[in-house]
Amino acid sequence: MTKQDHELWHTLQQAGLVSGDMPPTQIVNNPWYLRVLQGLTGWFAAWFLLGSLFAIFHDFLRQESLALVFGVMFIVGAYVVYKLKNSDFIAQFALVMSLTGQSLCVFSWRELLANSTSGWWLMFAMGASLAWLMPSFIHRFLSASLAIWSLVVLCVSWPIVWLMPALVVGAVTFIWLTESKWLVYSERVRPIAYALTFAALNMHSMTLLSAHELASINHHYQVASGQFFIPLNEVLLAAIFVLMVAMLLQRYQVAFNSKQGMVALVAAVCLAAVSQEAMGLAVAWSFILLGFANGNRVLLAIGTASFWLYLARYYYMLDMTLLNKSYLLIATGLFLLLLRKIGHVWMEKQDA
């Protein structure tokens, strides 16, 4: 314990926020390469153990009922292993056990998955329950992703599938804006929020495909021909972005009629309008602002990377020559610099 730690604890005691003796603050952090080796060792150990079990019981596992029983046993065993000790070896070993159990469950539901939607409802229920129960960030992220994409497959024959990017982005925006309310449950909610974030990007990328291209990806179900919802989806994404900016202004007590508030709202409306032409920019900027507002570097990096990918896609898909594209880039850069200059001059006049 350092002197600064004792001073901080004394200050908190005087404020009535804590009581009693100061708890130990020394945290042992293993080097990253040692943690990687421990994780890989856990995977290898699980592979050898599970490989031996499959070699012994492979004839029994061909029966769907027995495969389901073994799958549930592996998942329950993984939960028990997670509770044994908090180490990288144990965590990765339990992850492999759980993934194996889920694979056995999926194998036992293969006919339901191919011939009806009940199998996908089972997948959704399994993913959602494991995302809530399993005490592991990686496991919760993967399980939440499984539940989300199972729900997408269930909705793929309905026209609402073309509006799911806007619905998921709205849910992601709400979750990250209310982060202070679920910090106590962050170990459970945060991986689910990241799974929704990545799912929103993937779903929006899928809406850029045609119904025929989506049908070629999913051979079992007919994709709803509701591409006329795509413009509505982009309008909803733009509205969510503008609403998010307004909520952030309220969070930081910036009046809408102040110079900062007016600049922020006008810029948000302009970006929302641009995103109707360059689809995806509203999603990227939403994640960028959420990451910046929450001090979340991961979310900020996701938004920045998606912004450049969407921008590169729009540039590539432009139906014009490379020379005209160069002229367009120059004009866009000059326009942005002009807007920056006008904003600085206007803010200086307001301060004066």
pTM: 0.81
Residues 233, 143, 115, CA angle at the centre, nearest 5°?
75
pLDDT at 209 over 70: no
Alpha helical stretches, state H, 208-296? 211-217, 229-251, 259-275, 281-294
Mean pLDDT of 132-159: 88
pLDDT at 220 over 70: no
Q: What do you get for the CA distance between the two ends of the chain, in Å?
A: 50
The answer to whether 260 and 254 are in contact (CB under 8 A) is yes
- One-letter amino acid for residue 66 of the chain: L
Q: Which of 25-39, 137-151, 309-323 has the lowest mean pLDDT?
A: 25-39
Could you tell me the two tokens for 311?
């921008």
Rounded to whole angstroms, the Cα distance separating 289 from 293 reads 6
| pLDDT band (50, 70, 90) for residue 283 | very high
